[in-house]
Amino acid sequence: MDSLLSLLEQAHREIEALNDIKGLEGLRIHYLGKKGVLTQTLKGLKVLGEEERRATGQNLNEAKAHLNEWFTAARERLENQALLKDTVQKIDVTLPGRGEGQGHLHPITQTLARVEQYFMSCGFLVAEGPEIEMDYYNFEALNFPRFHPSRALQDTFYFKDGRLLRTHASPVQIRFMETHEPPFQMMASGRVYRCDYDVSHLPMFHQTEGLMIGKGICFAELKGILDDFLRFFFERPLKSRFRPSFFPFVEPGAEMDISCILCEGMGCRACKHTGWLEILGCGMVHPNVLNKCKVDPNKWSGFAFGVGIERLAMLFYRIDDIRLFCENHTRFLKQF
Ligand code: DAH
């Protein structure tokens, strides 16, 4: 027993004193290898009597476990030391640091925030709706008749079960009207999806939809608020005009143009030499839509509009390729 203890003490000292892995392995073999000190001693037990053999065997096995533990710890310590030494040698501490860049909001998020800032200041409530939508909300309740060619105006992504990725933010109007009593004014922003991809179209983009329902609301309110919004957004006085247009959920429907902010109406490539830029769709909510939402069209009237956020951002920041917004190149994004 005494000699076993002093053997262990010696081994411990030797292990602790080591500072290279090769030496450690040599030492391990010396103690624990097939022909190692401990193994040999274990073999020598044969000559002992039954009782003594059992007691000594147990001690030897415990000693072996200790040794194994020390060797593992020592190996870990030496490996860490080696790694540290290696890393320190490879790092040139005299090199200038990489610096800490500060992040910021994506230009689309910033644009959305400005749109919301305006309409919230006019008392519009912010509503939300699902991106995976039912045909009813995306089309039917918005007065797109079934099998009507107007559904083909928007190339829709369908799911097998008949649901779809909403093609516009207008379905939120319906969901809002179903759950609120007029008068109200609300806005809903978010992602919308269409099967489309080129310099001015993305399969996923953002829209803000607005809706105002009240007593005696007419086109004059619509014109006034949208005119004011665009002046706020583009930070300057702008000319605007409303062109008659067709959207199934409004009557009359219109598209709003603003004087080209690039050429100030003189005519350039961006406005196809017309001096005007198309900026949004709008109109007076169709009585069929009000009826579907159990809002009495004889009592209430209102307007709706839908504006593309990427389009606003492209004009505001003067960007000529919409795809830049979703490619996430930091050299592009850093500019905002
Ligand atoms: N939802 C239409 C689209 O995505 C935009 C739109 C047009 C919304 C007229 C409206 C509106 O609320 O009145 O093309």
DSSP run (H or E) holding 32:
helix 21-32
Percentage above 70 pLDDT, the chain: 99
Q: Is 207 exposed, middle or buried (0-12, 13-18, 19+ CB in 10 A)?
A: buried
Tokens of 288: 């069929």
Ligand 1 midpoint to CA 302 (Å)? 14
Mutate to test the pocket of ligand 1, among 192, 223, 246, 249 (most ligand atoms within 8 A of CB): 249
Mean pLDDT on 282-297: 98
Stated pTM of the model: 0.72
Q: List the Cα angle 61/66/69 in 5-degree steps.
A: 125
Higher pLDDT, 288 or 198: 288
Higher pLDDT, 193 or 53: 193
In the chain, what are the domain boundaries?
2-90, 107-333
Query: Cβ of 62: how many Cβ atoms within 10 Å?
Result: 12
Nearest atom of ligand 1 to the alpha carbon of 306 = 8
Query: Cβ of 235: how many Cβ atoms within 10 Å?
Result: 10
Mutate to test the pocket of ligand 1, among 229, 305, 311 (most ligand atoms within 8 A of CB): 305
pLDDT of residue 153: 62
Assign 115 a pLDDT band (cuts: 50, 70, 90).
Answer: very high
- Rounded Cα–Cα distance for residues 24 and 77 (Å): 11
**Residue 135 three-state SS:** helix
User: Nearest residue CA, atom 13 of ligand 1?
Assistant: 282
pLDDT above 90 for 20: no
Mutate to test the pocket of ligand 1, among 153, 170, 307 (most ligand atoms within 8 A of CB): 170
Nearest atom of ligand 1 to the alpha carbon of 211 = 12
How is domain 107-333 classified at the CATH fold level?
BirA Bifunctional Protein; domain 2 (3.30.930)
